[in-house]
A and B are shown apart, each in its own frame.
Chain A
Amino acid sequence: MAAIDITDVHKSFGKVPVLKGVDIAIASGEFVVLVGPSGCGKSTLLRLIAGLEEMSAGEIRIGGRVVNDLPPKDRDIAMVFQSYALYPHMTVAGNMSYSLKLKRTPREVIADAVTSAGAKLGLGLLQERKPRELSGGQRQRVAMGRAIVRKPKAFLFDEPLSNLDARLREQMRFEIKKLHRELGATSVYVTHDQIEAMTMADRIVALNGGIIQQVGTPLELYDDPANIFVAGFIGSPAMNFLEGNVLPGPGGTGISVGGQTLCRLSMPLAGSAQSKVTVGIRPERVMLAGDTSGLQAQVVLVEPTGLGTVLHLELAGQFLKLFTTERPALKIGDTAGVKVDSADLRFFDAATGQRIRVAG
């Protein structure tokens, strides 16, 4: 177990900057998920921690020791690859014991470690199989087994579940999380899947364009996004964004969308008086008025999910999704009255995308 401290890390490939000054402090035993769209630099950051790439500038410490110039094998970390990267000509047991053999660990110790890792991962009967005789889920387990037999200071996961089907992914999510609880090892997990990030992380690091957008617990990012990127990336169905006009008045600040008043805030928005603002609201926070009161919106599409219904609405030329656990009797083309609670609205600077908080 060890803390990982990443300080002002930069990485460029040729002239293309991929990471532009990243700082993260990962506590010992913490499960941190790096999340972001492809090309955001999350895998590069993981490979820098592993030592598979050299950083252009900055410092990484594992367990207090600067590892900048250490080769991967001396960093005492284990990595689980997206492709599993199993040694195809070695058996399951051979794959798991390879690192211990290289360290000239006594044979009995290796056997014990492999047996206990195999038992933990349900690979007991497969020890003598070759990787090609295993299913995707089993290969995934072998890759994790290979990581845990070494008892490393930290686990690094590079999109380990993206080659699995949806159901298996759900199961492995649970198993990785359970394993982390049992081992208590510091883990850094890279994914582009916000559901994996939400369900597994102690803390999420949202990355975009090589810059950290926000660091926080899953619900902090969900409820209190720092900017429009995080707000839009976390959550499914994604947050709605509407172009709104700010109308200062004596009774408070009004926000209107397409001529209809969305809400009236008793406090003004922080920062300078702007006339335009992006309003974000989660689909499950948009409510049906039940009658024709509230904002008038046209039904564009009805998506029943079983758990509930996603209504795609058009509000004065802008699109808005509504999620309800009810099964409303609305058809395409109907007019629905919707309402929002001003406490559920998140405001973003229309130009920079940064969050604007309500003063007070």
Chain B
Amino acid sequence: MTVAIDQSMAIRHRRAWSSRVLAVSEPWLYASPAVILLSAILLVPLAIGISYAFRDIQLLDPMSGGYVGLSHFSEIWNDANFWNALRNTLQWTVVSVILQFVFGLILALMLNRPFPGRAVVQALVFLPWAVPAFLSGLNWAWLFNPVVGPIPHWMVALGLASTPENILSDPSHALWGPIIAIVWWGIPFFAITLLAALQSIPKDIYEAAEIDGAGPLQRFASITVPFLAPTIAITLLLRAVWISNSADLIVVMTKGGPADSTQIVASYIFTQAFQRLDFGYASAIAVVLLVILLVYSALLIFVRQKLIKAG
């Protein structure tokens, strides 16, 4: 009798335990395909990439591959080229983002008022966004080239230069070449997002302000700007991450030169990895860039939360 009771309790106990395990693991089972896929394509390469930063990996040296600890990072600390690239990254990002924003806002404001042919102009304005970055880099490199492009000759005609020279080969101004290209390429992004934000402002608030006696500038300052502020803040911050990270235009137009004058951190990583074939050092720089961008992103998320709360 007692034995039978003990047995049935044990079975019940076992069943209760297994059903509890099932209940806990059930949601994880459902989520497992996504979890496995994400770790396989995101986390595993990320971990491998980060591990390279602590190893000596040089493609042309079959003896390399050993663990080197933090020596790459101390090398970076003393690498004048890296600091130069970081300074360039700052200039490249700040100038490009501000110019893209200013021109994007002007375009959005112009496209927000009805005029005949607006649909066509709108489509044309958004065209650069559809051009691959590689192609627009080539295109601008040619435009700046005095042999095939008109821009140097226009500069001479306008009295801005004495002889038609390639801006991309002048170390003190070369960074402006890729900046102009990325501004041209990125204006539509700001124009689209800001136009969408502008169109979501109710018209009758402008009318109420008009009746209250506000002129065009006052309406812009006290209605348009506060309405756009959250969108502006978020797009500026996001765009800054993208631009600081994007090396393609620089690689295509100047390859970081002349004399590293257009090297940004992202293009420096590319140069280290694919020209010097030093994957270990390139990975270490990439980790530094990752940390900088993570700090920046944390700031971004914090600002975003603040804005949402202030709403």
Residues of A within 8 A of B (CB): 50-52, 71-73, 77-79, 81-83, 85-90, 98-99, 102-103, 132, 146, 150
Contacts and interface: CB of A to CB of B under 8 A. Distances in A.
A71 B207 CA distance: 11
A83 B207 CA distance: 12
A73 B212 CA distance: 6
Interface in B195-213: 202, 204-205, 207-213
B35 interface: no
Interface residues of B, number: 17
Interface of B: 202, 204-205, 207-214, 218, 222-223, 226-227, 311
Nearest to B226: A89
B214 A73 contact: yes
Contacts of B202: 83, 85
Contact of A50 (B209, B211, B213, B223): B211
Nearest to A82: B204
Contact of B211 (A79, A83, A86): A79
A83 B204 contact: yes
Contacts of B207: 50, 52, 72, 79, 81, 85
Contact of B210 (A73, A82, A83, A88): A73
B311 to A, nearest CB: 7
A270 B63 CA distance: 117
Contacts of B214: 73, 98, 102
Given A98-B222, A102-B218, A132-B311, A87 B210 contact: no
Given A89-B226, A132-B311, A99 B204 contact: no
Contacts of A132: 311
Q: Which residue among B205, B209, B211 has the maximum number of chain A CB atoms within 10 Å of its CB?
A: B211
Contacts of A86: 205, 208
Say what secondary structure dominates the interface of chain A.
Answer: loop
A82 B209 CA distance: 15
A99 B212 contact: yes
A31 B137 CA distance: 67
A80 to B, nearest CB: 9
Contacts of A51: 211
B212 A146 contact: yes
B205 A85 contact: yes
Closest CB pairs A-B (n = 10)? A99-B212, A73-B213, A85-B208, A85-B204, A89-B226, A102-B213, A72-B211, A72-B210, A81-B204, A85-B205
13 contacts: A50-B211, A51-B211, A52-B207, A52-B210, A73-B212, A77-B211, A85-B202, A86-B208, A89-B227, A98-B209, A98-B212, A102-B212, A102-B213
A73 B226 contact: no
A73 B311 contact: no
A257 B204 CA distance: 51
A79 B211 CA distance: 7
Contacts of B210: 52, 71-73
Nearest to B218: A102
Given A89-B226, A98-B222, A132-B311, A79 B208 contact: yes
Contacts of B213: 73, 99, 102-103
B211 to A, nearest CB: 5
A81 B203 CA distance: 11
Contacts of B208: 79, 81, 85-87, 146
Contacts of A71: 210
B64 to A, nearest CB: 59
A87 B223 contact: yes
B220 to A, nearest CB: 13
Max count, chain A CB within 10 A of own CB: residue among B205, B210, B212:
B212
A89 B204 CA distance: 15
Contacts of B211: 50-52, 72-73, 77-79, 99
Contacts of A52: 207, 210-211
A345 to B, nearest CB: 45
A83 to B, nearest CB: 6
B201 to A, nearest CB: 10
Contacts of B226: 88-89
Residue among A90, A99, A146, A150 having the largest count of chain B Cβ atoms under 10 Å: A99
B232 to A, nearest CB: 14
B204 A87 contact: no
